[in-house]
Structure 1
Amino acid sequence: MTDHPNQFPKLHNAAWPGVVGKGDDDANPVIELDEMLDLTAAAQVDGRKFDGVDIFLYDPHISIDSTDEQLEDVARRVKERGLVIGSVVAPVWEPTGGGPAGGTKDDIEAFLTQVRKGCSVAKRLTEIGIRPYGVVRLDSAMPVADWIKDPHANQSRIADTFKAAADIAEEYDQRLAAEGEICWGGMHSWRKMADLLERVGHPERFGFQADMAHTLLYLLGYNAPEDAILPQDFDWNDKDRLDHAFRELTHILRPWTIDFHVAQNDASVHGTGSHDKTGRHCLPDDPNGKLDIAHDAGYWLRDEHGDVLTTCRHICWDGCMFPNDVMHSADTWNHILAAMLSVQDAHGWNE
């Protein structure tokens, strides 16, 4: 009898921590895709390994304008390491070719162009045989400071843009997931995120991506104090109140959740570039981490009755902004894999 009897949800690592926040100083250059794949493939705990990777469709990893030949090469490199690809991130932000979903006509056109390209790449990776499941991830790409200038009009424009994105996803037989990250306008609180999802109203094509590091901050109302469930000076030793807060949050957003990121957070915020005041990802065993990872993941991965949900075929570790010396350590990925296994053990299933 294995200590890890479940095979689902499959366990993925994210490749984008090799790109996000990298290249700004000599100590932390971009970590190439092949090295991220090698680090992922080398991790092992109790004979178990990562099943796959989630990827960022952005140079220098994988261009969103990749040719079929280039995508086939990516598929070969992933497969050679015993991995598959799951969810893909479309670069919908202005500096990466997109634009705010609540912006001008040109902004919205650029946003939707990136969504279309992302869906096309995702579909092609499935056809090649390297991507058995997963979503195309996006967000509003609109800073909160811009959104609050005209909340009603901006929320309406974002919803209309997301509806158009859902129509594009249907063309390519893909599903889109909006990540609940507090730095993006219209999505910067749980109530506003739920409002957008309801306005779009296409759960078969457009859902929510819950990242444990980001959704923790939904509870505290960063960037939206009016929607706080807990005070920002909350006593983290009050586990009963924290459990109640998670139940309130997930009761609203869990029905929309189609993609899930395992993460740790110390309840502080961190910003880099356009990602202002967003969740600070910590290592799973960080002593300042406020999440009981395996326990708290259950609020997202089980229903109101405590039954395991099979909506998310895979789960992904998301940890950005770690220094390169941390990311180059094999122990880092073994500890992360162990955290992922603890979630699968607690809330997984077999088929």
Structure 2
Amino acid sequence: MPENNYPKIHNATWPGIVGKGPDSEPVIPFDTMLQMTAAAEMDGIKFDGVDLGLFNPHINLEGSLEDIRRAAEEVADKVAAYNLNVGSLVAPIWGGPAMGSAAERATFVDMVRRSCEFGKVLRERGVRPYGVIRIDSASSPESWEQDPVNNSKLIAQTFQEACDVAAEYGERLAAEGEICWGGMHSWRTMVQTLEAVNRPNMGFQADMAHTLLYLLGYNHPEDRILPENYDWSDRSVLTEGLKTITNALRPWTIDFHVAQNDSTVFGSGSHDKTGRHCLATDPNGKLDIVQDAGFWLRDENGELTKAVQHICWDGCMFPNDVMMNQQTWNDILATMIKVRQAHGWHEPVQVNEESLIG
């Protein structure tokens, strides 16, 4: 049997920004993130690509349409030079909360359009064969809780408008399942939000580090699944809990992050506390990364869903000394390869017949 070559294996560039800044650690430049990703190797296998956060100082979506196109062309050239592809993009929607004023919600939708424009150029340049655009509500759980019914309606309306814009570009939007976003801060509220949006190009972005916190009911205790004072040595209870949330959210899942979590929350810089991302080799990690990835990548009968063409590692808020250690990325790549071996598939390489002529 040939070795699995799908899903493709990606690293994220935004951990060079998220949680960094003047009140934390220096931002790691975009070029450095590309270099560290491209240099990683395990048994002759390398990362296939990167997912991008479309926000300063890595990428600037301000300015005119021509400014955005020039920025995208520059990124396309840089990525191609490292023999990498681009997958999913994170829209910088935090200046306009999805449940904010009319003007704020218009800003949210405008940033989705700008992200679609950026992604369109990458597709035209041949470096983005797959991937979605990721969004969140840009609103806190505390503000959502002040009026859950009406705030949920506003989030759904904003997401619907964003989906309509994305559809013009043939793009799908993935709502990030993370406990720090209002209306998305528990597995049940996440399902309710997706159902309310009810658009064919609206899906879910699952990150194993964040969705583990759904089981513990952080920021929404009424949806807790694991018992208080849960004994983590009892894998059977964790397994059943993972089955509950994956059965509920897997049908929506169109973007997936492989990750580890130690069952704690963490925030740095300006980022709110959310599920702590741990190293793939962290002995305190509560997940069996390879096994538990299967709950998302396989259906309830154990069959591959093939719902995502690539998987991504998100090392948000890792300390800079960890991120600048090449062994960190080698270890992560090794784990990603194991996930693909366990839950991937093989597709024949497409050969361009014109290139064989002459």
Q: Given that residues 68 and 114 in structure 2 are in contact (C-alpha distance below 8 angstroms), is that contact kept between their aligned partners in structure 1?
A: no
Amino acid at match of 2:14: W
Matched residue, 1:340:
336
1:10 and 2:11 correspond: no
Shift of 1:206: 0.6
Query: What secondary structure, in the 3-state scheme, does the structure 2 residue paired with 1:213 have?
Result: helix
What CA deviation, in whole Å up to 9, does each residue of 1:314-339 have, x standing for no partner? 00000111111111111000000011
Shift of 1:21: 1.4
1:166 and 2:167 correspond: no
Shift of 1:20: 0.9
Q: Given that residues 61 and 68 in structure 2 are in contact (C-alpha distance below 8 angstroms), is that contact kept between their aligned partners in structure 1?
A: no
Range 121-130 or range 185-194, more displaced? 121-130
Matched residue, 1:142:
139
1:234 and 2:230 correspond: yes
Query: What secondary structure, in the 3-state scheme, does the structure 2 residue paired with 1:152 have?
Result: helix
What CA deviation, in whole Å up to 9, does each residue of 1:188-218 have, x standing for no partner? 000000001111111x311000000000000
Matched residues in 2 for 1:163 and 1:68: separation?
A: 25
Q: Given that residues 20 and 268 in structure 2 are in contact (C-alpha distance below 8 angstroms), is that contact kept between their aligned partners in structure 1?
A: no
Amino acid at match of 1:75: A
1:208 and 2:210 correspond: no
Matched residues in 1 for 2:143 and 2:270: separation?
A: 12
Amino acid at match of 2:12: A
Structure 2, gaps ≥5 residues long: 348-358
1:108 and 2:98 correspond: no
The two structures, once aligned, show a CA RMSD in angstroms of 1.3
Describe the shift of the 1:207–1:308 C-alpha distance in structure 2 as closer, same or farther (beyond 3 A).
same
1:120 aligns with one of 95, 117, 120: 117
Q: Given that residues 211 and 261 in structure 1 are in contact (C-alpha distance below 8 angstroms), is that contact kept between their aligned partners in structure 2?
A: yes
Matched residues in 2 for 1:320 and 1:141: separation?
A: 17
What CA deviation, in whole Å up to 9, does each residue of 1:118-176 have, x standing for no partner? 11111221111110100000100001111111111101110111111111110111000
Shift of 1:60: 1.4
Matched residues in 2 for 1:267 and 1:337: separation?
A: 23
Amino acid at match of 2:167: E
2:274 aligns with one of 264, 273, 278: 278
Alignment of 1:1-351 (within 5 A): 5-24=3-22, 28-65=25-62, 66-94=67-95, 99-202=96-199, 204-272=200-268, 275-351=271-347
Give the TM-score of the pair, scaled to structure 1: 0.95
Matched residues in 2 for 1:229 and 1:150: separation?
A: 24
Give the TM-score of the pair, scaled to structure 2: 0.93
Matched residues in 1 for 2:270 and 2:219: separation?
A: 14
Amino acid at match of 1:288: N
Query: What secondary structure, in the 3-state scheme, does the structure 1 residue paired with 2:276 have?
Result: strand
Matched residues in 2 for 1:233 and 1:41: separation?
A: 42
Q: Given that residues 123 and 173 in structure 1 are in contact (C-alpha distance below 8 angstroms), is that contact kept between their aligned partners in structure 2?
A: no
Query: What secondary structure, in the 3-state scheme, does the structure 2 residue paired with 1:92 have?
Result: coil
* Structure 1 segments of 4+ aligned residues over 6 angstroms from their partners: none
Shift of 1:273: 5.4
Query: What secondary structure, in the 3-state scheme, does the structure 1 residue paired with 2:56 have?
Result: coil
Structure 1, gaps ≥5 residues long: none
Matched residues in 2 for 1:194 and 1:258: separation?
A: 14
Give aligned pairs, total.
Answer: 343
What CA deviation, in whole Å up to 9, does each residue of 1:48-86 have, x standing for no partner? 000000001112111124432332121111111110100
